[in-house]
Structure 1
């Protein structure tokens, strides 16, 4: 029995030795074991890697170079003029790209119409295209590209050279286009421009930003019957009249963002016609008052998210918020900036909006400890809370020990009445609550550490805030190195442990 066992063990050792010899022989012969992995599996592995790691792996061998290129669906290129010569071979390698970004620096010469034609001709699976800083693109180039490109459904263009005619070509020939973003389009400023039509009318998301004559998009807005999301930011012109016209034709509008527009209560009253509106941002519109907000609340009863920034005008207050409390019972997120809300409106708001989960109150002179206590006591569904530049104090923070049972995170910014001592007390009473404090003295936000169990010792932690001055950084370095310096001095002054007698002992 012993001999048979030893013979089996001897056979196994011989097999292992033979296997190691074969492995060493394969290494010596330069055999690539990755060939046992199918191309599909290798491509899936590459897709799990970061962009840097993918580029590194593509340089290992010709097969990895080819497989990585065939499996890449997103590609970002520096769209300088010398890109034209490399485009044919580059697009042959990345022939399955569905999302392409072409970006060029403002001070350099970008790609021209010929390069864009090659992209439209060779990228047959392209669905998303982003153009930024391509000043050499013209209306003629965009028209040719629109005729030869694949099934595009999303286009974003910023600081480019073409204008209204180029956009109309895209809208007419790209029949699958659903998402359009236009920012700082240079071609719209040169001479008289034609109106921008609806094209196929399939646009569902439209973003217009920093346009001098965004009124040209009126026909596109009115003709996009299926528009779901509309974002308007820093566009000149009177938007009251345009909103009065287009809102009658947008029955499916769900999300509307308006920032730094010439907008008054008349525009908000026009928005109130959008009965299916669920998300509304009114940011930095000082001419809007309680009348406009009340109209929106009455007309848009399905609101889930509401952001109102009064921009220090103080023309929206309790009256408008009371209308929101009465009509918008499905509200889940509410952000109020520069509004002087009091108990008169906050108490009904907290009582009626039972599903409110996220709340932010910023730059309010009337939101003090009583208002804070009201919110914490009545908003039982609240999960995230942000208070900034409001006159609350340590006394008001005490209610957080038992209120808002579902609260997960709270941010306190630039509220000078709240001290770190109250935050420490709060974390000792609610360890699961994440608290962020910036009392306005430090230049950055500091996440306070979680309290340790009784009897445990915490190692000192010094975090270096951002945006510090050079003098502050030097002081911080001295403080951080204090423990090392102290230990060094202590070692120098203590008796030697090598066995030799110290001067003190002599």
Structure 2
């Protein structure tokens, strides 16, 4: 803005400013832009098309109109709740649906208070719906069929974590226009029969199919599906818990899915014969993920490197692969752009250097270096157990490398890993103020620290006010005993330290929107990145709006 204080954007018509906002793609930039003035706030809200709303039962009914009056151009909406709260009910869903008649995509997450009545309301008020995603809900077959009757243009259906998963069969069978079908952890005892009925009735135009952890789904059901899916481009099979899908189904995929571009296999023990059939027949295959399979060895990987003519991205996870198999891509598969190898114990960091020496443009991501470093730590702990006592309340247990997890004594890591610059501690009840204080005192090179869902309070975080002088950034999230006051105390002592706390975020967003939906003191209270909030003052009934781009 010129020094004379004249805002030349005031001369721009609203339509022109709205067009400019449409070119701002990141949520953070849009939020920051909306703080310039009330006019910019209004225009930014009117041009936003995607919104995520935290929708617990305590969401005030009086606030819903103001939220959707502000965001009146929505075409995509996510309503989500959590395990600790009950969700909104049919009445509130009705009010939301009446304010969003142009919705084309709706996602419901853990909204167990929404019943068949709510689905009927959606079918009447959101007739343009093309994508419906549901992960946990209280509605049954009647509600699903009603939704289908009102949303005849439905193209994408994703359902998961439902106790009555088989009741979605009528919806799928009646949706002849479906192009995307994703089913995750649905109950039911005869998915083969269900998939056969679905395939014959509805899947002729299907392009994307995800079958993830379906109980009693075998080769028979999948073969019937792929026989009728002539246009299938993306296929994901997560079979890791039951292992009832194997080579017979993969050979059928190779035979019928000639247009396949992406294939994800998790827990599927594919042998060379089935992989050879896929590589030979699926000439358009650009992405291949092979995960959690002991049958995938260097022989299969070398064949893929030799024969795949269009492959661009490859992921290998928890397979019996070594450097020899990975090194085959140094000369083979010239179209490959990116290769990722994770949790393959026989792959070392040396193969990464050899690949880069041959193919400098190839993006190579290996966790072999991390694995090697961790093994060194375990060895050090085992050899010097008497020299390095464990932290209070902990015992360092080093299990063999094929075990799923073992507890590394934090004190041993801090003492021995003198070059440690980044440390993430997530989802552990064993991490308390004692451990965090020790890290603040003893870490000599730490620059970045993340603490998530641990039993930590302000006392532990405040230890970094004086300790760990090298620390540049600290992030604390989902730690309920950490409050926003500790951020002020840290900043008072260490002004240059980057601090991100979701406790502060909760307080800050409460002040952003007043009851009318308009912002007061807009320039004074910046929103947290990616969020706008509407809060009930002076109590805990706060709900968060995660705004899409």
The two structures have a TM-score, normalised by structure 1, of 0.64
Q: Which protein has the bigger strand share?
A: 2
Q: Counterpart in 1 of 2:179? A: 204
Pairwise CA distance, 1:131 = 1.1
Q: Counterpart in 2 of 1:245? A: 224
Q: Counterpart in 2 of 1:87? A: 64
Pairwise CA distance, 1:42 = 4.2
Label 1:382 to 1:442 Cα distance change in 2 as closer, same or farther (>3 A). Answer: farther
Cα pair 2:195 2:221 within 8 Å, conserved:
no
2:104 to 127, 132, 140: 127
Cα pair 1:354 1:381 within 8 Å, conserved:
no
The structure showing larger relative contact order (alpha-carbon pairs under 8 Å, at least 6 residues apart) is: 2
Q: Counterpart in 2 of 1:359? A: 339
Q: Which protein has the bigger helix share?
A: 1
Q: Does 1:413 align with 2:370?
A: yes
Pairwise CA distance, 1:247 = 0.3
- 1: CA distance between counterparts of 2:278 and 2:90? 46
1:108 to 75, 82, 85: 85
Pairwise CA distance, 1:319 = 4.3
Q: Does 1:324 align with 2:324?
A: no
Q: Counterpart in 2 of 1:282? A: 265
Q: Counterpart in 2 of 1:465? A: 423
Cα pair 2:212 2:238 within 8 Å, conserved:
yes
- 2: CA distance between counterparts of 1:45 and 1:343? 50
Cα pair 1:209 1:232 within 8 Å, conserved:
yes
Structure 1 gap ranges (5+): 1-19, 390-411, 420-440, 444-460, 483-506
Pairwise CA distance, 1:276 = 1.0
Pairwise CA distance, 1:68 = 4.4
Q: Counterpart in 2 of 1:158? A: 135
Q: Counterpart in 2 of 1:260? A: 239
- 2: CA distance between counterparts of 1:89 and 1:337? 47
Pairwise CA distance, 1:249 = 0.9
- 1: CA distance between counterparts of 2:168 and 2:349? 55
Query: What's the CA shift string for 1:298-319, capped at 9, x where partnerless?
Result: 33232222111244xx323244
Q: Does 1:297 align with 2:254?
A: no
CA RMSD of aligned residues (A): 4.0
- 1: CA distance between counterparts of 2:85 and 2:168? 26
- 1: CA distance between counterparts of 2:469 and 2:299? 57
Label 1:292 to 1:89 Cα distance change in 2 as closer, same or farther (>3 A). Answer: same
- 2: CA distance between counterparts of 1:479 and 1:144? 57
Question: What does 1:67-78 align with in structure 2 at a 5 Å threshold?
Answer: 67-78=43-54
State the secondary structure of the residue aligned to 2:145: helix
Higher Cα radius of gyration: 1
- 1: CA distance between counterparts of 2:469 and 2:46? 52
1:335 to 275, 299, 315: 315
Cα pair 1:356 1:382 within 8 Å, conserved:
no
The two structures have a TM-score, normalised by structure 2, of 0.60
State the secondary structure of the residue aligned to 2:204: coil
Pairwise CA distance, 1:243 = 0.7
Q: Counterpart in 1 of 2:160? A: 183
Query: What's the CA shift string for 1:418-442, capped at 9, x where partnerless?
Result: 99xxxxxxxxxxxxxxxxxxxxx99
Structure 2 gap ranges (5+): 377-407, 411-418, 426-430, 445-465, 471-549
- 2: CA distance between counterparts of 1:232 and 1:150? 27
